[in-house]
């Protein structure tokens, strides 16, 4: 079949490469326009745009799937559209432009966690099994019938970035299997069953760790917001990034209190403690927590606690 592929970030790459390696033809890639990246805010092509260019596939860069984009895609006479983390909705008439419409790889066990940040919200909520679903795209948000689901038990301590990497690989196989079945006329989709939950895009505020919560809940939020938008606390009145943290021992440390015990930098929480392994103080580079600790001059160092509990993400 002739396929139009839409995607933008790194997790879309395994599906693109799997389709290119299949018996089908990827006739074009749709991705978002170049965006400023890094400290110098240099305009940079998306990972999918870079991969498509290297593969010799025509690229359509657009942030909106408007009439111009619809016309350009219609001229390709595609049999199917495949979308993986493109970053915008596919409206009509583009939704019906390919002969078989569009299928979407979504990184959740639908209908749980519909929306832009399913893996992040699942980890924040403490889900211990996540997955990916290939479904038929419809106008309603992530509500179409599901062709295939893969399940993924979350490894202990895995962050959102690591889980997304794993699901991207598993999902790529599922995408190619569904595309093959659609080409053969054997694909069957089932309606979503169960209570839906919503996973909106995260903001910087979602990465704030409330140390008055128990250690397990603090670490759930840390893992769900790592690497983006980034877990952090406030130390000495400035944002203090947490790049690495694991469960610590039971201690007498109150929430926010810091201590060095057995060579580990501990932080007290509402129940138990966490161990900081890698941190980034304001205005400095990331470093091992032990190196940072050696430069702390306060006699009784403490992380500032928020004035009100942070919002939970439980469904």
Report the CATH number that the domain containing residue 297 is assigned in CATH: 3.10.25.10
Token pair of 130 as six digits: 């996540």
Q: Structural domain of residue 162, as residue ranges?
A: 2-184
In a domain, 34, yes or no: yes
What pLDDT is recorded for position 192? 98
Which run of H or E residues covers position 240?
strand 238-247
202 pLDDT exceeds 60? yes
Token pair of 213 as six digits: 């919560």
pTM, two decimals, is 0.93
Query: Considering the chain, what is the average pLDDT of its residues?
Result: 95
> Domain boundary residue among 151, 184, 217?
184
In a domain, 196, yes or no: no
One domain for residues 226 and 82: no
What pLDDT is recorded for position 35? 87
CA-closest candidate to residue 259, choices 298, 224, 288: 298
Portion of the chain with pLDDT greater than 70, in percent = 97
Portion of the chain with pLDDT greater than 90, in percent = 92
In a domain, 309, yes or no: no
What pLDDT is recorded for position 309? 46
pLDDT-derived band at 94 (thresholds 50, 70, 90) equals very high
> Domain boundary residue among 140, 155, 184?
184
One domain for residues 22 and 169: yes
What pLDDT is recorded for position 312? 46
In a domain, 312, yes or no: no
In a domain, 198, yes or no: no
What pLDDT is recorded for position 36? 83
pLDDT-derived band at 307 (thresholds 50, 70, 90) equals low
Query: CA 128, 140, 115: angle at the middle one, nearest 5?
Result: 35
What pLDDT is recorded for position 206? 97
One domain for residues 179 and 215: no
One domain for residues 41 and 145: yes
One domain for residues 179 and 214: no
In a domain, 162, yes or no: yes
One domain for residues 164 and 249: no
- Residue 84 forms beta bridges with which residues? 7
One domain for residues 56 and 26: yes
In a domain, 126, yes or no: yes
Whether the CB-CB separation of 109 and 194 falls below 8 Å is answered with no
Output the CA torsion sign for 121, 122, 123, 124: positive
In a domain, 199, yes or no: no
One domain for residues 102 and 156: yes
315 pLDDT exceeds 70? no
The secondary structure of residue 175, as a DSSP letter, is H
One domain for residues 170 and 25: yes
pLDDT-derived band at 160 (thresholds 50, 70, 90) equals very high
Number of domains in the chain: 2
308 pLDDT exceeds 80? no
One domain for residues 133 and 13: yes
The 10 Å Cβ neighbour count of residue 294 is 8
What pLDDT is recorded for position 38? 74
297 pLDDT exceeds 50? yes
Question: Which domain CATH number covers 109?
Answer: 3.40.50.170
Chain segment 11-52, per-residue pLDDT in tens: 999 999 999 999 999 999 999 999 888 777 888 999 999 999
- What mean pLDDT comes out for the span 196-204? 97
> Domain boundary residue among 152, 184, 216?
184
- What mean pLDDT comes out for the span 41-65? 95
């Amino acid at each position: 079949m002739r396929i139009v592929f839409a995607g933008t970030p790194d997790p879309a790459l395994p599906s693109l490469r799997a389709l290119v390696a299949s018996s089908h033809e990827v006739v074009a890639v749709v991705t978002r326009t170049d965006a400023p990246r890094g400290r110098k805010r240099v305009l940079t092509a998306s990972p999918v745009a870079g991969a498509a260019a290297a593969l010799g596939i025509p690229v359509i860069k657009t942030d909106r799937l408007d009439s111009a984009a619809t016309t350009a895609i219609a001229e390709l006479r595609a049999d199917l559209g495949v979308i993986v983390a493109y970053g915008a909705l596919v409206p009509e008439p583009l939704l019906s432009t390919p002969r078989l419409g569009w299928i979407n790889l979504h990184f959740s066990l639908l209908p749980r966690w519909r929306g832009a940040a399913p893996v992040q919200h699942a980890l924040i909520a403490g889900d211990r099994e996540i997955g990916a679903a290939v479904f038929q795209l419809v106008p309603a948000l992530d509500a179409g019938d599901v062709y295939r689901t893969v399940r993924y038990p979350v490894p202990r301590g895995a962050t959102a970035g690591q889980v997304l990497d794993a699901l991207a690989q598993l999902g790529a196989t599922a995408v190619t299997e569904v595309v093959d079945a659609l080409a053969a006329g054997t694909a069957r989709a089932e309606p979503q069953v169960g209570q839906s939950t919503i996973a909106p895009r995260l903001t910087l505020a979602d990465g704030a760790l409330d140390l008055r919560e128990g250690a397990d809940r603090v670490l759930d939020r840390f893992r769900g917001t790592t690497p983006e938008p980034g877990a952090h606390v406030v130390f000495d009145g400035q944002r203090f990034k947490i790049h690495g943290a694991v469960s610590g021992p039971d201690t007498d440390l109150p929430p926010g209190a810091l201590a060095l015990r057995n060579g580990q930098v501990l932080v007290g929480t509402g129940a138990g403690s966490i161990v900081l392994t890698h941190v980034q103080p304001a205005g400095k580079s990331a470093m091992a927590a032990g190196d940072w600790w050696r430069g702390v001059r306060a006699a009784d160092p403490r992380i500032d606690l928020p004035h009100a509990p942070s919002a939970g993400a439980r469904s």
